[in-house]
Amino acid sequence: MSDALMPTYNRLPIEFVRGQGVHLWDSEGREYLDALSGIAVCGLGHAHPAVAEALCEQAQTLIHTSNVYRIPHQEQLGQRLCALADMDRVFFSNSGAEANEAAIKLARRYGRQRGIETPRIVVMETSFHGRTLATLTATGNPKVQAGFEPLVEGFVRVPYDDLSAVEQLAGDGDIVAILVEPVQGEGGINIPAPDYLNGLRALCDRTGWLLMLDEIQTGMGRSGRWFAHQHNGIRPDVMTLAKALGNGVPIGACLARGPAAEVLGPGTHGSTYGGNPLVCRTGLAVIDTLETQNLPARAAELGERMQSTFRDRLAGVNGVKAIRGLGLLLGIELDRPCGVLVGRALEKGLLINVTAECVVRLLPPLIITNDEADQIVNGVSDLVIELLAEETAA
């Protein structure tokens, strides 16, 4: 590993030099099946022809101007996203953390415009919202915050999927918004009760709080709908996106509707590169492909199929606590830490992830075939069974 890089990542000892569809190849020419897709970024897989064509054409035409000028592709992408999400306006950034930072600033200004001097936002335990100072403060993981104190003020934390805990805050006049993930990804693929988001929506309607949904990992078709909250038939006031929106090109978005869409004005927020012609042209190609190939519905179908097959393969295996998921956002929770599985999977040519120490997280591209889905299920099941058998024998 080069000493020139700050050691901010525990990198695996491998370098990929090429990707095609659901597969990657390392510098030794070995092929891997990608069940992680860059942590939910490459929803269309690697080197997708529509994405490559959009990037090449735009790079040869115009990459960047500035947000002080009109950007037609940005306006088109904003209109497409608003139509898909039934929202009114979009702010484009470079990443998910910046999209959440925009949401946090929007909520604070929303409160200040209503005469609240110390606006506060309700956030959840075991959540993840990014690594900027404000978003790591909003994140419900002490490990992410350690060493960066003093943290940003203005957050109230409650347990995830506990509606009563949020309702108890209804009398707090400083609260202006709730920031929550429809499904917690980094937290362990935690799926709340079916009526949780509906309860939060109703509470926000009663109190005048903004419901802000972090759909950075769940959005752009991964859950089986364009956005995970659409399973609940609700609309947020603010929603953030990133990851699969650019299929590898850095782009984030903060969408808002109603009064929330009127909060930010000229000079209140900005981004040098956010929403430039290159990334927005790519985002349009991603949406076109997801739409024409009906990939959100495909994610729903494959996700149910994979969960069912996992349950068949792992039925009765001691140590498997839960198998859960929504679309192609899948988790297998064990009763013990299982980070060792990442390296073992790599040895077998399979890319997976372990989060929350005990949860195997699978985020395959939405373009996987049935056969590739079966390869992932069989490969992961074999690894889990092997690990649990070893530790039981020991």
145: amino acid identity, one letter: Q
> Burial level of 2, CB count in 10 A (0-12/13-18/19+)?
exposed
Euclidean distance between CA atoms 239 and 148, whole angstroms:
27
Can you read off the two tokens belonging to residue 19?
């990707």
On whether the CB atoms of residues 325 and 307 are closer than 8 A, the answer is yes
Strands 155-158 and 120-124, sheet pairing = parallel
> For the chain, where are the alpha helices, taking DSSP H only?
37-40, 49-59, 72-85, 96-113, 133-138, 142-145, 163-167, 196-207, 277-292, 295-314, 340-347, 370-393
User: Is it true that the peptide bond before 250 is cis, omega within 30 degrees of 0?
Assistant: no
Q: Which of 91, 128, 227, 310 is catalytic?
A: 128
Nearest of 239, 108, 91 to residue 176 by alpha carbon: 108
Task: Please say if 214 is a catalytic residue.
Answer: yes
Residue 10: half-sphere exposure toward Cβ, Cα within 13 Å:
4
Residue 386: half-sphere exposure toward Cβ, Cα within 13 Å:
10
Q: Which of 91, 92, 214, 237 is catalytic?
A: 214
Longest dimension (CA), the chain: 66
Task: Please say if 105 is a catalytic residue.
Answer: no
On whether the CB atoms of residues 129 and 189 are closer than 8 A, the answer is no
Q: Which of 91, 92, 237, 243 is catalytic?
A: 243
217: amino acid identity, one letter: Q
Q: Give catalytic residue positions.
A: 128, 214, 243
